[in-house]
Structure 1
Amino acid sequence: MSNSAINRRACEAARLSVAPMMDWTDRHCRYLHRQLSGQALLYTEMVTAPALVRGGAMHLLDHHPAEHPVALQLGGSDPKELALAAKLGADAGYDEINLNVGCPSDRVQSGCFGAVLMQQPALVAECVAEMQAVVDVDVTVKCRIGVDDQNPQDVLPEFLSRIVAAGCIRVSIHARKAWLQGLSPKENRDIPPLDYELVHLMKEYFPNLHISVNGGITSLDQAEAFLDGGLDGVMIGRSAYHQPADILAQADRRIFNEGTDTTAEAAVLAMLPYIEDHLTAGGKLNQITRHMMGLFAGRPGARQWRRMLSEEAHRPGAGPELVLAALDQVKTLAQVQEAV
């Protein structure tokens, strides 16, 4: 596939994406999500540029061919180092390289990257320019609307104008401020108020910039409303992880007007060969099933599904037969529920 075709595919896929989430969106999680949606754009966990460039941790770039379209999110603040890391990611086959300008954790702040970079738009623009200069895939940015005492109405337009001038054509905006002092990363996902109107306003200011909205979105109904309202994409985080079938099983039809709906049951069956391969390579079942806990969220048998996987998947010798047994529990309880 040509680079222009790759960029076009990633741009189209960005109508709906699953947000990069530390400790969650690893390669096993992404493979599961791909069984539910063939179209949505998937993101890695944040990988720091120093880990790749100085640490040589190339295993962090591992991904399955089935994951495409898939984007690599990088964290860092040194333009030259980020460029080297971006080149490694593009050479590894990622369809997009994304720069994290939104994470509020203490670890990220101490490394001078993540949300703290909202205070240094010129540096972010330099990072984007250096990265884009060495790769042919799109370099994108995920940001907040501002941090701490910044006025988002003032700082966000300037921030976006800087990165657009540097060559960024797609951005995902988490529609909350980040409070770098006084709030934990968890609190930063809930407490600062959402300002979706500001994100819509940025689309008016920058009509040629592909803008995805992120933050507080929990359903496909909301996603469709944002798209109908003029935004180019919607990025969903925690709901896509905790209720993946609710978000992704109908996404291809409803968001992309392609394909047909799938089911959680079908996704489980599709995961079995992947699980077999992982176990054969020396992996453990719970490395995969920990991401499958929410597949039946809100349905009869969901509690039994979670319990069987959480209590037994870590045991030596646990394999696909456990997953099938848990699935049978779900089916049995669903039949009982229908008979009542």
Structure 2
Amino acid sequence: MYADSLKRGEKIFAVAPMIDWTDRHCRFLHRQMSRRALLYTEMVVADAIIHGHRDRLLGFSPQEHPVALQLGGSDPVKLAEAIRIAADYGYDEINLNVGCPSDRVQSGTFGACLMRDAGQVARLVDAMKAVAAVPVTVKCRIGVDDQLPEMVLPDFLARMIGAGADAIWIHARKAWLQGLSPKENRDIPPLDYDLVYRMKRDNPDVFLGINGGILDLEQSAEHLAVMDGVMLGRAAYHNTGLLTGVDFLVGGSSPSGTNTPEVNWLALRDTMMAYADAVMASGGRLNHVTRHMVGLFQGYAGARRFRQILSSEATKRGADTTVIAEAFAAVDLQAGPKRQAVAAE
């Protein structure tokens, strides 16, 4: 189980929570690529869970495990209630968002702006720990606005650890809440991996993971030489095929039992067609599934045509899963990718 992996100090590779991207259909696809990657939901606001459509917000396929629920909120009572509600769905981890810089999140006084009040975040973690039956973790930045990260981050981590956080994921950039958009906050503030590494050296017995600007599994392996976990967001989403190397990277193996990732692409095609059929039978649309598949064949001959078919044909009225079969048929699966971005030795 995932909680046992944390206790044993095993290395963890995670796909970051990404609003509008890491929904249940995305996670189902990602799980076909890796048995061991930790998958995150989009951030779900505690108020939405309490007052909204719970199955729509929290439901997921059992095949997605291990999967973590990321919560947004700043009220300990509401966060605790959201966790009680979510408990019936069987998530493997509950994560608190202390890193999102969007205006919508700031207006609710949560996300990255909570970096300004480490004491309040500690109270939130304490309240969450009191009701959660699974690990409670935090995802944060190294600071916000004019804060000095080398001064702020050590105190922030100490307070999270004191409150009982089971793991802390650190996005190695500051967030500028004034003057930069959420997109700009993903690229413009400089990365400070050295500071995050120093935090790990100062806290050897606490799970600390790193996030931000990591592009492939080779870079992931370099970070894992220091950190307990590595988290990729856009790189994993736009080049989904790299996930085939994750199981070897974190100490497991590929399905063949070797360190060479092998993917039965035709089996994946059939799995995703069956899954999409089920989604459509329950009222969804084909592109709810296929929009997450366009990053599957980076570097393969035919990848551009694959993307074109999924992007244009899957949105048409009456489209069915033969669109997926047509898209796969456009790819030269035998030749493989021109540049294989897989497990780092």
Q: Normalised by the size of structure 2, how large is the TM-score?
A: 0.91
What is the CA distance between 1:334 and its match in structure 2? 5.4
Considering only aligned residues, what root-mean-square deviation do their CA atoms show, in Å? 1.8
* Distance in 1 of aligned mates of 2:229 and 2:51: 34
Q: 2-side partners of 1:59 and 1:289: how far apart? A: 19
Instruction: State the 1:146 CA deviation.
Output: 0.1
Contact 2:76 2:127 in 1 (8 A): yes
Q: Residue 331 of structure 1: CA displacement?
A: 2.7
SS of the residue corresponding to residue 178 of structure 1 reads coil
Preserved CA contact (<8 Å) 1:74 1:100:
yes
Q: Which moved more, 1:252-261 or 1:285-294?
A: 252-261
Contact 1:28 1:291 in 2 (8 A): yes
Q: Which moved more, 1:205-214 or 1:102-111?
A: 205-214
- Give matches, 1:272-287, under 5 Å: 272-287=273-288
Matches within 5 A, 1:114-263: 114-228=111-225, 230-246=226-242, 248-260=243-255, 261-263=261-263
Residue identity (%): 53
Letter in 1 for 2:299: G
Kindly provide the amino acid, as one letter, of the partner of residue 171 in structure 2. Answer: H
What letter is aligned with 1:303?
R
Query: Residues of 1 paired with 2:10 and 2:35: CA distance?
Result: 9
Please give the alpha-carbon distance, in whole angstroms, between the structure 1 residues aligned to 2:52 and 2:294. 33
Letter of the 1:126 partner, please give it: R
Residue correspondence of structure 1 range 23-172 to structure 2 within 5 A: 23-172=20-169
Q: Does 1:330 align with 2:331?
A: yes
SS at match of 2:112: helix
Give the Cα–Cα distance (whole angstroms) in 1 for the partners of residues 111 and 286 of structure 2. Answer: 32
- Note the C-alpha offset of 1:275: 1.3
Instruction: Name the CA distance, whole Å, in 2 between partners of 1:269 and 1:215.
Output: 34
Letter in 2 for 1:158: D
- Give the 3 Å change call, closer, same or farther, for CA 231–30 of structure 1 in structure 2: same
Q: Residue 56 of structure 2 aligns to a residue in which SS?
A: helix
Residues 13 and 39, structure 1, Cα contact 8 Å, conserved in 2:
no
Q: How far apart are residue 54 of structure 1 and its match? A: 3.1
Determine the C-alpha separation between the residues in 1 that align with 2:148 and 2:315. Answer: 48
Deviates further, 5-14 or 120-129: 5-14
Offset from partner CA, 1:213-238 (integer Å, 9 cap, x none): 0000011001111112x210000000
TM-score w.r.t. length of structure 1: 0.93
Distance 1:302 1:84 in 2: 45
Q: CA deviation at 1:308?
A: 0.7
Distance 1:162 1:137 in 2: 20
Three-state SS of the structure 1 residue aligned to 2:332 is: helix
Greater Cα shift, 11-20 or 326-335: 326-335
Q: What are structure 1's unaligned runs of at least 5 residues? A: none
* Cα deviations by residue, 1:35-80 (Å, 9 ceiling, x for unpaired): 0001000000000001011335442001000000000000000011
Q: Which residue of 1 aligns with 2:341?
A: none
**1:320 & 1:195 partners in 2: Cα distance?**
45
Q: Deviations over 1:224-271 (max 9, x none)?
A: 11112x21000000000000102x011112223233323382533331
Q: In the superposition, relative to structure 1, how do residues 186 and 38 fare at CA in structure 2: closer, same or farther (>3 Å)?
A: same
State the one-letter code of the partner of 2:163: A
Residues matched between the structures, number: 330
Residues 11 and 250, structure 2, Cα contact 8 Å, conserved in 1: no
- DSSP-derived class of the 1:20 partner: coil
Letter in 1 for 2:252: N
Contact 1:214/1:235, CA 8 A, preserved across alignment: yes
Structure 1, residues 164-220: CA drift from partner, whole Å, max 9, x if none?
111102010000000000000000000000000011000112111101100000110
